[in-house]
Amino acid sequence: MPSEKPTVRGFQPTSIKLAALVPVIALGALGFFLGLEILFGGKAPAPPKPALDRFGATRDLVKTYGSIDPILAPPLDIERSVFVPASCVVSASIPTGADASRPSVATEFSCANTSGFLVSFYRAQLPHSEWKVFSDAQTTHDGGGMALLSQKAGSDGFYWQLGVVIGNTTYTSSGGGVPTEATKVTIRLFQNASN
């Protein structure tokens, strides 16, 4: 009696229809999750708050730091959250010895405002721009006056510290009977070493 050989299943090619189903499922899943992200996803970063208008015209520091090496300059969201009154003009750029591992900038402004006005301005403006003020006291730094120190998270993933030193107001005779007032304001921004 002849013995029967067992049948061995051979290789059967995969159906092209079945193989095409895999990328279709993947694209469908991708479309589903993109749709969910569009409908329920995160929001774009909120634009920075405008300056308080009760102190008159102001400007942020974007133009002030526009010509600085972008590696050393603060991110734009930080620059857009620090304001100076419109009467303030840059009088000096102060060297900080910063490098790419710890960016920092320091700028001195001459403002045609009294120190009292400027202290009131920064005491109101910093919290309004979501800076966390952790010191507000007299200082001998940068010629003396009031110093406000604060901190805020930047879009670069680091916290930035801000120091605003408001000097004492000086008065100069203008010859017309009303003296001209000037106050030095020094603004220092530096990246914290850690979050």
The tens digit of pLDDT for each residue in 89-133 reads 998 887 777 666 778 888 999 999 999 999 999 999 999 999 999
Does residue 5 sit within a domain?
no
Closest Cα partner for 88 from 66, 65, 62, 108? 108
The tens digit of pLDDT for each residue in 48-65 reads 677 778 888 999 999 888
In this structure, the answer to whether residues 21 and 88 fall within a common structural domain is no
In this structure, the answer to whether residues 95 and 24 fall within a common structural domain is no
Does residue 84 sit within a domain?
yes
Does residue 143 sit within a domain?
yes
In this structure, the answer to whether residues 57 and 25 fall within a common structural domain is no
Does residue 4 sit within a domain?
no
Number of domains in the chain: 2
In this structure, the answer to whether residues 72 and 141 fall within a common structural domain is yes
Does residue 65 sit within a domain?
yes
Residue 18 has pLDDT above 80, yes or no: no
Nearest 5 degrees, angle CA 183-CA 96-CA 89?
Answer: 30
In this structure, the answer to whether residues 149 and 64 fall within a common structural domain is yes
Asked if residue 189 lies in contact with residue 74, where contact means CB atoms within 8 angstroms, the answer is yes
Closest Cα partner for 162 from 137, 131, 185? 131
In this structure, the answer to whether residues 88 and 126 fall within a common structural domain is yes
Range of the domain at 38: 14-43
The tens digit of pLDDT for each residue in 56-90 reads 899 999 988 888 777 778 889 999 999 999 999 99
